[in-house]
Copies of this chain bind each other. A is one copy, B any other.
């Protein structure tokens, strides 16, 4: 799609954490967004709802989005399980009839929906299912461990703590330091932002690591640093398999641990208060031991997501995390990301020297 102008569907959810796709596209690609659809917030702006995104209007109907020049509808929610809310099907038909393409990151592929597929065909429009995995993925064979670029993986204490956002905040500074840096998307939102990637949680289970390996090999060309987007958490009762497959497929030299300090329990299970989030040191121990069982790796910094703390509490949380772990810690969205950038620069330098020494 050339020059997409998105109407983002985020009805009922805009501004809360389940609209993370909407939020990230607005944060990193605001010029592509003409409007957000959320009937409850219609009339406000993105700036008013999210605190960023400027004058991007929130509208209450597809019709208004089309009138503002949208040529594409982007599904901006990522509900657990990934199903399409029934009500939205009618809106998508209206958008296709109005000349829009559709971009979706849902688990249920819209191209498999007979009504939507037929409508798209009839109107000459395209439906892109960002989560549909490529055919013929391999079982991982360990090739990712041999790339020259420094591979940095974000890992988390839970889902939805800012693993993608933390890395996107580092790209600019790393490039400014002279390191050619590439973000490697492993989820639908990252794919929508970068234009390539594989949603590793949507591949057949045997190929999680293999899909990740393919991404690392593709991203390595001409890169000094690769920031590989992590998924889930090592102690997440539903998604830990994706987390570990990704970890072993990427063969990261270094990891950045992402955490939301106000969270007490694994998020999706909060009502059941089942899995309590252990101390950061315990996560570091788990990620380093399970990761290094395949390829030696270590956590080199902590990225906190402090959006729900006031500034003083946020700074205190960073100080506590740094003290607890002995590692650089910051909120790279809210504060200066330099501590994490410095840690990555040092790790890249060490890997380059070690490779050069091995060759000489």
Which residues of A line the B interface, CB within 8 A? 80-82, 107, 138-142, 200-206, 208-210, 234-246, 248-249, 268-269, 272, 274-275, 278, 285-286, 289-290, 293-294
Contact = CB atoms under 8 A, between A and B. Distances in A.
A236 B234 CA distance: 16
A81 B138 contact: yes
A238 B293 contact: no
Contacts of A202: 204-206
Given A107-B204, A293-B286, A241 B234 contact: no
A209 B234 contact: no
Nearest to A285: B289
A33 B355 CA distance: 55
Contact of A240 (B203, B238, B286, B294): B294
A294 B274 CA distance: 9
Contacts of A242: 205-206, 208, 241, 245
Given A209-B238, A240-B244, A241-B248, A142 B203 contact: no
A289 B91 CA distance: 47
Given A242-B206, A242-B241, A245-B205, A235 B294 contact: yes
Q: Most B CB atoms within 10 A — which of A139, A234, A246?
A: A139
B294 A237 contact: yes
Contacts of A205: 200-205, 208, 241-242, 245
Given A139-B81, A202-B204, A272-B142, A246 B241 contact: yes
A61 to B, nearest CB: 31
Contacts of A206: 82, 107, 201-202, 238-239, 242
A107 B133 CA distance: 15
Q: Which 6 pairs across A and B sit closest by C-beta, in order of nearness?
A: A241-B245, A235-B293, A208-B241, A139-B238, A244-B244, A241-B241
Contacts of A269: 141-142
Q: Most B CB atoms within 10 A — which of A81, A241, A244, A274?
A: A241
Contacts of A249: 237
Contacts of A274: 142
Contacts of A201: 204-206
A158 to B, nearest CB: 12
A190 to B, nearest CB: 16
A80 B139 contact: yes
A188 to B, nearest CB: 12
Given A142-B274, A205-B208, 10 more contacts: A139-B239, A203-B205, A204-B204, A205-B205, A209-B241, A210-B238, A234-B290, A278-B293, A286-B293, A290-B290
